Structure 1
Amino acid sequence: MTVIALTGAAGRLGGYLREALAKRADKVILTDRVSPEGLRANEEFRQAELDDYDAVHAALAGADVVLHFGAIADEAPWDEIWGPNFVGARNVWEAAHQHGIRRVIYASSIHAVGMYPRTQRIGVDTPHYPDSFYGLSKCFAENLGRLYWEKRGIESVMLRIYSCAQPNNERSLGVWLSPRDLVQLVEKSLDCPIVGCSVVYGVSANSRCPVSNEGAKFLGYEPVDNAEEFAPEILAAAKPDPSDKAQLHHGNVFATGDLGVSAVALMGRAEDGEG
């Protein structure tokens, strides 16, 4: 593997990954709507809107593998989310097929299964249960990736990322994905010899983790960080509200907010990495 393409390269998760990717690849193609800062010697920026197939096709030319991290990472009105999240996913997989790219690693999300109750521990084979248009876009892309695997032989790893935000509430103690573990998860997804079309949850080794990666052990992902180190401070200030329906779902406010309404705004902070 000598050339890695990264969509959504100007986003925060892309920023977490760039250094590690630059160290392992001869060339890293960075694509986004705007150029990320501080390009390294072996990084090349190619501007593209995800819903523009010709631009995506040109951006992925020469890549051996694609990390598809570009999307609207929040709930949004249907007309806004359709292009980047739905059409964009199709464009990435079709361009990968046309270029002979062998593997797509996709930043999916817990919101593909966000309507399940938090009291239910869910695994990698749990059926889709989206909590929003955003979650539905992740279900679509996961199914699209499986279709391209079955019909065209493109392998995929679907990373159902929970939250890469700094833990600051009770929920985050179970669902945190540290930047270091994100890098490891991506590297394991790159290095595993055969992945077919696989799902893995993007979570660290949290003592309170509400999901199971038992069915994805073949990837070799062994997270090292644990949000429990933040527990004393967070729990001392916590005010659990059993009547808050958002706290009863894996998808939090994505599961209880109205369709098309920003969940990030409802939370009052950016859930970096919620998808």
Structure 2
Amino acid sequence: MKKLVLTGAAGRLGSYLRAPLAKMCDTLVSTDIADGIDTPLPNETYVQADLADFEAMEAVVKGADMVVHFGAFVDEAPFETLLGPNFVGSYNIWEAARRHGTRRIVYASSIHAVGMHPKTDAIGIDAAHRPDGFYGLAKCFTEDLARMYWDKEGIEAVCLRILSCANVTNPRAVGSWLSYDDMIHLVERAIDTPIAGFSIIYGVSNNDRAPVDNSGARHLGYRPKDNAEQFAEQIYAEAGVLDPQDPGNFCHGGPFASTPIGRSAMMALNLDEDDTGQG
């Protein structure tokens, strides 16, 4: 590709993606609301911009073959907080792509789009939307937006329903873990697969206890290698007996499912220092 755009480039997950994406294109345009990024790569340009600013997003997207859209406010929060970056921002990306002939958008969706489904359902990629808060609702909105732009305008979209891309520190993550290496592999396959149309795929590693079914997205060629079972014995022993009536334990959304709408849920994920910051 000649030009690839990465939003959320200063975030946690975006930071892991910059170098691999730079190898897939002549020019990588990284953008975020942050002042800057660490050590731009030789073929990387950084643009500070607000997702909610359409003119800024249009300028960034112009001439791009594809957009990897990882920018967002990453937590449950009041609707007014999420409206600009997570709702309007998604519209701005897709509309800018339409105006400038961008071929495909790879979107960092989330398990929180279906977070209120019980984990015992072993849901597939066709599971009905059941958001666990405004954050999950924004993911539902963007998935539907992406489908509409595919159906009406022919813009391909791969929506990555990421479960938990962070170090394994809690019982939920034994099933939901997406390692950083597998995350990079997932994004690479979402970019280089010849035909994607509108696709949904769960971002999860090859965990023995993965609670979702990715068989309907095998056409993307994603074959994860890492497995969180290596952490299970220690994590389960430290956690003790879990309350089966707590939605945070039995729903896919974890703490987001049990946290009141509009209130931060990130603290309940018990992330370690290596996983702090937005992704």
- Tell me if TM exceeds 0.5: yes
TM tier, smaller: over 0.9
Q: Is the 8 A contact 2:11 2:278 kept in 1?
A: no
Structure 2 residue matching 1:119: 3-state secondary structure? helix
Q: Is the 8 A contact 1:114 1:249 kept in 2?
A: yes
Deviation at 1:116, TM superposition (A): 0.5
Deviation at 1:213, TM superposition (A): 0.3
Structure 1 residue matching 2:23: 3-state secondary structure? helix
Q: Distance in 1 between matches of 2:256 and 2:277?
A: 14
Q: Distance in 1 between matches of 2:222 and 2:265?
A: 30
Q: Distance in 1 between matches of 2:220 and 2:93?
A: 23
Tell me what 2:197 maps to: 196
Residue by residue over 1:70-119, the C-alpha shift from the partner in whole angstroms, topping out at 9 and shown as x without a partner, is: 00110011111011000000000000111110000000000000000111
Judging changes above 3 Å, is the alpha-carbon distance between structure 1 residues 203 and 265 closer, same or farther for their aligned structure 2 residues? Answer: same
2:273 is the counterpart of 1:244:
no
Unaligned runs of 5+ in 1: none
Q: Is the 8 A contact 1:16 1:179 kept in 2?
A: yes
Tell me what 1:77 maps to: 78
2:5 is the counterpart of 1:5:
yes
Judging changes above 3 Å, is the alpha-carbon distance between structure 1 residues 113 and 223 closer, same or farther for their aligned structure 2 residues? Answer: same
Percent of residue pairs bearing the same amino acid type: 52
Deviation at 1:273, TM superposition (A): 9.7
Deviation at 1:2, TM superposition (A): 2.1
Q: Is the 8 A contact 1:113 1:128 kept in 2?
A: yes
Say what the alpha-carbon RMSD is for the aligned residues: 1.6
Deviation at 1:268, TM superposition (A): 4.6
Judging changes above 3 Å, is the alpha-carbon distance between structure 1 residues 252 and 211 closer, same or farther for their aligned structure 2 residues? Answer: same
Map 1:117-136 → 2, pairs under 5 A: 117-136=118-137
Tell me what 2:91 maps to: 90
Tell me what 2:264 maps to: 262
Deviation at 1:62, TM superposition (A): 2.1
Return 166-175 or 201-210, whichever deviates more. 166-175
Tell me what 2:186 maps to: 185
Q: Is the 8 A contact 1:51 1:87 kept in 2?
A: yes
Q: Is the 8 A contact 2:246 2:258 kept in 1?
A: no
Q: Is the 8 A contact 2:51 2:92 kept in 1?
A: yes
Q: Distance in 2 between matches of 1:105 and 1:59?
A: 16
Tell me what 2:155 maps to: 154
One-letter code of the match for 1:24? M
Q: Distance in 1 between matches of 2:256 and 2:172?
A: 14
Q: Distance in 2 between matches of 1:268 and 1:232?
A: 18
Query: How many pairs are equivalent?
Result: 275
Q: Is the 8 A contact 2:170 2:270 kept in 1?
A: no
TM score, norm. by length of structure 1: 0.96
Deviation at 1:36, TM superposition (A): 1.4
